[in-house]
Structure 1
Amino acid sequence: MRNKYTGKTFIIEILAIILGLIFLVPFYYVIANSLKPFAEILTNTSALPSAFQWQNYVTAFERMDYLRVFKNSLMITVASNLMIVVFCSMGAYMLVRTKTKFSNFIFLLFVAAMVIPFQSIMIPLVKAASSFGLMNSIWGLVVMYLGFGSGLAIFLYHGFIKGIPVELEEAAIIDGCSTFGVFWRIVFPLLKPITVTIIILNSLWIWNDFLLPLLVLQDPSLRTIPLATFFFFGQYTKQWDLALAALMLSIIPLLIFFFSMQKHIIKGITSGSIK
């Protein structure tokens, strides 16, 4: 029997729409002001543009060297996600299936690492990275993201793997499958819902991260999109028109990624609920 549409439902829908509009207000300011001349931004930030200044995007695209910084950001995000998914899924699997006090201790270390503020380890990190030759290197930055992202990824994988029946793995072993084969052929495909979640969370974090690339990447040719956007803010001038246009250029790839993954997110939620 279908639920009737009541006045309470109508009020909840209205409140949800209002809440959604409130969350969209910052996007309005960014989009509207990215299409204004600098003088008009200073005059009235809330009004719609009197004339759409598309030249802001062209200038920001050229000043940022957008194609280069986009390639750097994409390479760092994809490589970091790949390493986090591969190593953390295997690590979490062994921690779950190896039921020893040492495994529990290692898992607790990964969980404890999640609460350590990044600012408290910045200086030791830079010193250690310099000693190992990881500074001013995209792959060195990827290794650092693997380290910082492992805590949350292993925590999520660990909880999900505990819900996978061991009997599936035992049946595969009886059929002659190795431990490596059991993981990649049986377990890992079942981890798709949580893998999609981890990729989305890490992509949002790594793509928008500013502080770690600022510390590690000193070569201008290795700049990421957030670093390139930052250079529109000088000591004496702040180019808000170009900075907001650059910000929109950095958001667009993430929006495309999210909408392209939306189908997988919904499938992941439903498959996880009936697994």
Structure 2
Amino acid sequence: MSTLTQSPTVLDSGTPAKLRRRSSVNVPLTVLVAVLSLTILIPLYFTIVTALKSSEQLNGNALALPTSIHLENFSNAWTLTNFPNALLISGIVTVAAVILTILTNSLVAYAIARNMHRPFFKALYYFFIAALFVPFPIIMLPVTKQMALLSLDNPVGLFLLYTVYGLSFNIFVYTAFIKSIPAELEEAAIMDGASVWTTFRKVIFPVLTPINATVGILTCLWAWNDFMLPLVILSDPTTRTLPLVQFVFQSQFNTDYTTAFASYLMAMAPLLLVYLFAQRWVISGVMRGSVK
């Protein structure tokens, strides 16, 4: 009986302490995260309130909430920047770059990762890694001239360049991931009569789902937000991407901040939705990869 009466006492005295340990907060880290969050939240807040104000309201307190909402800023930005055409061009370039990057870079990385014991593939691997340290401005003018000679100064040449220029970093990421995949999976597939291509397509590529998601998100962010490559590659004004269209618009109407900020929000919205969706996909992909 004494044991039965003392047991709840022990549980009651121990449980609060355990809960206190679990609910303890790292105050310095929390403050640091909060301060760093402000560097993103304040500019985002400023962009939103500016896009909803009139020019007269903007001349007052720039950080104040709008006294009246002016949605015509978005319709003006839609018309003045030819937003539908720029959105279509950016979407085509981004989607094509993501798909082509995942398909080609994973295949090249697989060939390198499984043949690192051979001198040629080892040298090829270090060649791609060395390319990470080559600044783009050094090769910008030769690449621009070459793309013009090949008649690739258009969106097709643009997403091809995103695929090629992302190869170095993606090879580095893919190779490290593929090395962690047991070779027994491929050996079992080969013993069942599968070719190298079939082994990659049906065995290795599905296991690459987490890293494919990571590479896809990074490529999507880069291709959608990039300004330098479209500036030097695209020669036809009708094929300008969103960042380039916004730059031209801002240089032409540099005092119309409300319309310009409205166009920024419209350009940011599709990518934000893609990121929120892809973030969940990455987490599920990581879970599937860990189970496998």
Q: TM-score, normalised by structure 2?
A: 0.87
How many angstroms does 1:134 deviate by? 1.3
- Partner AA of 2:95 in structure 1: V
2:143 is aligned, of 116, 119, 125, to: 125
Alignment map for 1:11-90 (pairs within 5 Å) = 11=27, 15=31, 16-17=33-34, 19-90=36-107
State the alpha-carbon separation in 2 of the partners of residues 106 and 238 from structure 1: 51
How many angstroms does 1:36 deviate by? 1.2
Deviations, residues 208-240 of structure 1 (Å, cap 9, x unaligned): 011110111121211111111112222683321
How many angstroms does 1:88 deviate by? 0.6
Alignment map for 1:1-275 (pairs within 5 Å) = 4-6=19-21, 8-9=24-25, 11=27, 15=31, 16-17=33-34, 19-98=36-115, 99-135=117-153, 137-234=154-251, 237-275=254-292
State the alpha-carbon separation in 1 of the partners of residues 231 and 18 from structure 2: 54
State the alpha-carbon separation in 2 of the partners of residues 54 and 235 from structure 1: 21
SS in 1 for 2:180: coil
State the alpha-carbon separation in 1 of the partners of residues 60 and 268 from structure 2: 26
State the alpha-carbon separation in 2 of the partners of residues 42 and 153 from structure 1: 47
User: 1:232, 1:238 within 8 Å by CA — same for their partners in 2?
Assistant: no
SS in 1 for 2:25: helix
Q: Which runs of 5+ in 2 are unaligned?
A: 1-14
SS in 1 for 2:133: coil
State the alpha-carbon separation in 1 of the partners of residues 40 and 239 from structure 2: 33
Name the CA shift for 1:197/1:3 in 2 (closer, same or farther; >3 Å). farther
Q: TM-score, normalised by structure 1?
A: 0.92
Moved more, 247-256 or 93-102: 93-102
State the alpha-carbon separation in 1 of the partners of residues 274 and 252 from structure 2: 34
Structure label with greater radius of gyration:
2
SS in 2 for 1:238: coil
SS in 1 for 2:282: helix
SS in 2 for 1:43: coil
Q: Which runs of 5+ in 1 are unaligned?
A: none
SS in 2 for 1:44: coil
State the alpha-carbon separation in 2 of the partners of residues 76 and 38 from structure 1: 34
- Partner AA of 2:114 in structure 1: R
State the alpha-carbon separation in 2 of the partners of residues 58 and 32 from structure 1: 16
Moved more, 148-157 or 190-199: 148-157
How many angstroms does 1:12 deviate by? 6.1
